Amino acid sequence: MDFTVILAKNTWKQLSLCTPLLVLIGCGSVPEKRSSFTLTTGNGHGFQLYDVRKNQLTAFLDHPYRYVTPAKDLRQFGQERRNLLLEFDVGAESPNGPTAWLSKTRPESAEYLDESNIISVRLPGAERYLFAPFTLPQNAWVSLTKFSQPTIARTKLGFHLGHEVKSDMFWESPFKVGLVPGEKVEELQGLGRPAWMETGKTPGALLYVALEDSEGSCQPSCQSEQVLLELKSREPTLWSGVVVAYVENPRQVRQKAREIVRWIDQQEAASLLQRERAAWAQWRKPPPVALQDEAERKLWRQSEAVLRMGQVLETNGPKRSNHGMILASLPPGGWSIAWVRDGIYATVALIRAGHFEEARKSLDFFLNAHPVGLFKEHVDNVPYRISVTRYYGNGQEESDYAGHNSPNIETDGWGLFLWAARQYVEASGDHEWLKRKTRQGRVYQVLRDEVARPIESQLEPDPRIMKPDSSIWEAHQENAKHFIYSSLTAARGLCDFAWLAALAAEQADQRHYARLSEQVRTDIGRAFVVDGGYLVGARERTRETDLDAALVEAFSLDVIPDFNSDLARKTFAHLQKLKLPHGGYKRTGGVTDYEINEWAFVNYRMANAFLRLGQPEKARALIERMTLQAKENFNLLPEMFDAVDLKSAARPYTGSIPMTGYGAGAFMLSVLEREGSFEKRDCGITK
């Protein structure tokens, strides 16, 4: 089958959104060339979504992660987070006519301000800024509007504390609001600012704090099935703003409201915006390598922001231990779930970009998540610390079934975690981290007893490769195989643990695990080689495993013993069969959409392999073509590009958008290696 895709400009069709409005608002348009139309903002406590085509906020989520807690039957998906937003709009009141609502006109531009999480929307007669402030540790969102001239500002707040809505398709997040009768809005007095609270018959409360002196009214009433609270400024204003927050415990509403009032600190809207911009600038780290051009600089900065937004910062408590976990995707992507693999690639990118605090929080999450080790029967009843697949939002281990008869058991994450731990200690110089306490003991002991030893327990006696599991492409245990990827990560992780053992003056551990890593590394070269002299993706051969992009990690994780060997040369030549006609790479030799679409992660890891094999121009070409695609899509990176729809004018983004570890993180790691910043692979140090 020919999957050639014709590249062409994809012009955003003009939408008939413009109606006669005040001159103050007007109507304008600009053609766009993109395939992704949602801008996401978040601060580790929640997410809000803005749809460029609709010029509307479309979601306010009560939690950042998709599955909050497990279902009673672990074979089912967990409790979904809720979308609390039905309608939000800002308008300018006309003395002699209808209010000109901003959603009824078309934006001239929409982008992330300074490549942050601040959404900037320009319209004729108004500017909008929408963001979840990192300077306010709450599930809070800020709407700021600057009008071209002072006006009576009006704001519609149509939120609802409904029930969760289950997804019809597990790969897509549901954003429909589940209506439950009984919403109630009441004004909060004595805060020094206009504020209102909304409660209902389902958990939590909503909090609204106006930035200007405003009066509120409810439609149809302040106690009904669906309350619409409308704020109206008492005087003409140039800037209008409101803070919306979700509070898990309604008894803490006043406390949270006071925190918001202190955060505002009598500042005007313009000052709040500048303060948040300054906080972002302070958080940034200078790129550790030279970037190629302005487009790449913007993609780097936006990728930093995506990784930051993707890290959960909720407070741990008796029923939750999730602080620091990193989601595989931001919403609207369906994979806003904490997979081990995606989180590790994101964590290593944070480490190598100099964001050590965020990286340490991620590592600490893995070491303190609870409960874990729930699927021991699939790994010879060996206790283990790192999840075999992913985590629910509360920090409990999850091994999804996704309609299959068996769960996913992915032991590759164990070796990847040791890789990240070594990267952190080496780059940050935080040697004391190995001595810090965790839920199960000090860090070094947990790394050895609950990560390295479980890996060793899963090694076959001869050859020394990992036992059958579900591995990177999540085959489920009913299809378990000896996948090469799990053995590659084991070889890499055991080597990195040996390095940490040497640093901790544990010489016996260093010798043992360095020797074991070398055995696995050597045996990969004989266990997975086939006639023709190249490696394949699994010992149990199929169309999908014979041609498997996971093989690229033999190069990009620096596991293959000799890049100049016949084995390396023939394996890499074999991998080139994954190349699509337009230049990118698919996932495997299979025939489903997931197999034949172009993968962003695979492209970046292939670029790393080209660099390690001394072919920098091919690596540059791969990285540059991805940068050009991201430039047209708010500098966000997707899970995949559509290589299936032959009628498509351009290869549109598809899958989960935007990706963190498999998108932003993979990009940053490739750029670092392109500029000569390679990871080291040695299994011990001289003290």
- Taking each helix axis from N to C terminus, what angle separates 666-674 and 294-309, rounded to the nearest 10 degrees? 140
The more confidently predicted of residues 441 and 651 is 441
Residue for token digits 């589940």? 178
314 and 212 in a common domain? no
495 and 636 in a common domain? yes
CATH number for 428: 1.50.10.10
Residue 1, in any domain of the structure: no
Contact by Cβ (8 Å): 536, 551? yes
Residue 267, in any domain of the structure: no
| Distance in angstroms (rounded) separating the CA atoms of residues 215 and 338 | 42
Residue 17, in any domain of the structure: no
| Distance in angstroms (rounded) separating the CA atoms of residues 456 and 218 | 63
538 and 425 in a common domain? yes
Which pLDDT does position 27 carry in this prediction? 35
The number of beta carbons lying within 10 Å of the beta carbon of residue 62 is 22
466 and 409 in a common domain? yes
pLDDT digits over 527-559, tens only?
Answer: 999 999 999 999 999 999 999 999 999 999 999
Which pLDDT does position 582 carry in this prediction? 82
Strands 126-131 vs 214-219: parallel, antiparallel or unpaired: unpaired
pLDDT digits over 228-254, tens only?
Answer: 999 999 999 999 999 999 999 999 999
- Cis upstream peptide for 658 (omega within 30°): yes
pLDDT greater than 90 at residue 646: no
| Distance in angstroms (rounded) separating the CA atoms of residues 167 and 169 | 5
The more confidently predicted of residues 478 and 16 is 478
Q: Is 382 exposed, middle or buried (0-12, 13-18, 19+ CB in 10 A)?
A: middle
pLDDT greater than 80 at residue 63: yes
Residue 603, in any domain of the structure: yes
| Distance in angstroms (rounded) separating the CA atoms of residues 198 and 416 | 44
- Which of left, alpha, beta for 540 (phi over 0: left; psi -120 to 50: alpha)? beta
Residue type, 273: L
564 and 462 in a common domain? yes
**What are the angstrom distances between the C-alpha of 238 and each of 83, 130, 212, 269, 654?**
31, 17, 10, 10, 40
pLDDT digits over 308-339, tens only?
Answer: 999 999 999 999 999 999 999 999 999 999 99
- Three-state SS at 240: strand
Number of domains in the chain: 2
Query: Three-class SS string for 397-414?
Result: EECCCCCCCCCCCCCHHH
Which pLDDT does position 29 carry in this prediction? 32
Which pLDDT does position 645 carry in this prediction? 65
pLDDT greater than 60 at residue 210: yes
- Which of left, alpha, beta for 125 (phi over 0: left; psi -120 to 50: alpha)? left
Average pLDDT on 570-590 reads 94
pLDDT greater than 50 at residue 21: no
Scanning 310-442, the segments in alpha helix (DSSP H) are: 340-352, 356-368, 412-428
Residue 574, in any domain of the structure: yes
244 and 348 in a common domain? no
Residue 309, in any domain of the structure: yes
CATH number for 154: 2.70.98.10
pLDDT greater than 70 at residue 25: no
418 and 350 in a common domain? yes
- % residues pLDDT > 70 (the chain): 94
Average pLDDT on 146-163 reads 96
Which pLDDT does position 94 carry in this prediction? 83
Which pLDDT does position 593 carry in this prediction? 86
N-term to C-term CA, the chain: 57
Q: In what order do the strands lie in the sheet with 38-42?
A: 38-42, 47-51, 56-60
Residue 11, in any domain of the structure: no
Last residue of a domain, one of 230, 255, 280: 255
Average pLDDT on 353-362 reads 98
Measured in whole angstroms, the distance separating CA 176 from the mean position of its chain's CA atoms is 21
Contact by Cβ (8 Å): 58, 87? no
306 and 250 in a common domain? no
312 and 215 in a common domain? no
Query: Three-class SS string for 598-638?
Result: EEHHHHHHHHHHHHHCCCHHHHHHHHHHHHHHHHCCCCCCC
pLDDT greater than 50 at residue 17: no
608 and 535 in a common domain? yes
Which pLDDT does position 26 carry in this prediction? 37
pLDDT greater than 90 at residue 643: no
Contacts of 273 (CB under 8 A, 6+ apart): 118, 129, 144
498 and 358 in a common domain? yes
Which pLDDT does position 648 carry in this prediction? 52
Which pLDDT does position 535 carry in this prediction? 98
Which pLDDT does position 432 carry in this prediction? 98
Average pLDDT over the chain reads 92
User: Domain of 102?
Assistant: 38-255
pLDDT digits over 493-532, tens only?
Answer: 999 999 999 999 999 999 999 999 999 999 999 999 999 9
Average pLDDT on 117-146 reads 97
Residue 6, in any domain of the structure: no
The more confidently predicted of residues 169 and 395 is 395
pLDDT greater than 90 at residue 641: yes
Residue type, 246: Y
Kindly report the backbone phi and psi dihedral angles of residue 30, in degrees, each rounded to the nearest multiple of 5, phi listed first: -145, 130
241 and 156 in a common domain? yes
Nearest to 138 by CA among 40, 51, 261: 261
